[in-house]
A = this chain, B = another copy of it.
Amino acid sequence: MQYNSVLENLKIYEAGKPIELVVREYGVDENSIIKLASNENPRGCSPMVQKEVCSDISKMNLYPDDSMYELKEGLAKRFSVDSQNIIIGAGSDQVISFGVHAKANKNNKVLMAKTTFAMYEIYARQTGTTILKTPSHQHNLQEFLEIYQNNKDISIIFLCLPNNPLGECLSRDEVYNFLDKINKETLVIIDGAYQEYAKYKDKKTQIEPNDLIKRYPNALYLGTFSKAYGLGGMRCGYGIADVNIIKALLKLRAPFNITTLSLKAAIVALRDEKFVENCIKENFEQMKIYEKFAKDLGFEFIESYTNFITLEFKNSKNSTEISEKLLKKGIIVRNLGAYGMNAIRVTIGTPEQNSRFMREFKEIYIDDMEG
Q: Across the interface, do A254 and B94 meet the contact criterion of CB distance under 8 Å?
A: yes
Q: A3 — which chain B residues lie within 8 A by C-beta?
A: 102-103, 248
* B93 touching A254, Cβ below 8 Å: yes
What is the distance, in angstroms, from A257's C-beta to the closest C-beta of chain B?
Answer: 7
Q: Which of B40, B54, B102, B103 contacts A63 (CB 8 A)?
A: B40
Asked if A366 is an interface residue, CB under 8 A from chain B, the answer is no
Cβ < 8 Å to B, chain A residues 66-104:
66-67, 69-70, 90-91, 93-94, 97, 101-104
- Looking at A230-238, A296-304, A355-363, the stretch in contact with chain B turns out to be A230-238
Q: Is A251 an interface residue (CB 8 A)?
A: yes
Q: How many identical chains are in the complex?
A: 2
A268 to chain B minimum Cβ distance, whole angstroms, is 11
- Bitwise, A30-59 to B at CB < 8 A (1) or not (0) is 000001001011111100011001100111
Instruction: Tell me which of B91, B122, B254, B259 contacts A261 (CB under 8 A).
Output: B259
- One of A11-19, A207-215, A315-323 at the interface: A11-19
Do A1 and B63 have beta carbons less than 8 Å apart?
no
In the assembled complex, which residues on chain B have CB atoms less than 8 Å from the CB atom of A66? 15, 18
Which residue of A40, A54, A235, A253 has the most chain B CB atoms within 10 A of its CB atom? A235
Q: Does A65 contact B (CB under 8 A)?
A: yes
* Number of chain A residues whose Cβ lies closer than 8 Å to a Cβ of chain B: 82
List the B side residues contacting A130 at CB < 8 Å.
none
13 A-B pairs with CB atoms under 8 Å apart are: A1-B244, A7-B251, A35-B62, A38-B63, A49-B60, A50-B58, A50-B60, A61-B231, A61-B233, A63-B233, A122-B254, A233-B260, A261-B261
Q: Give A residues with C-beta under 8 Å from B.
A: 1-4, 7, 10, 12-13, 15-16, 18-21, 24, 35, 38, 40-45, 49-50, 53-54, 57-67, 69-70, 90-91, 93-94, 97, 101-105, 119, 122-123, 126, 184-185, 187, 217-218, 230-235, 244-245, 248, 250-262, 265
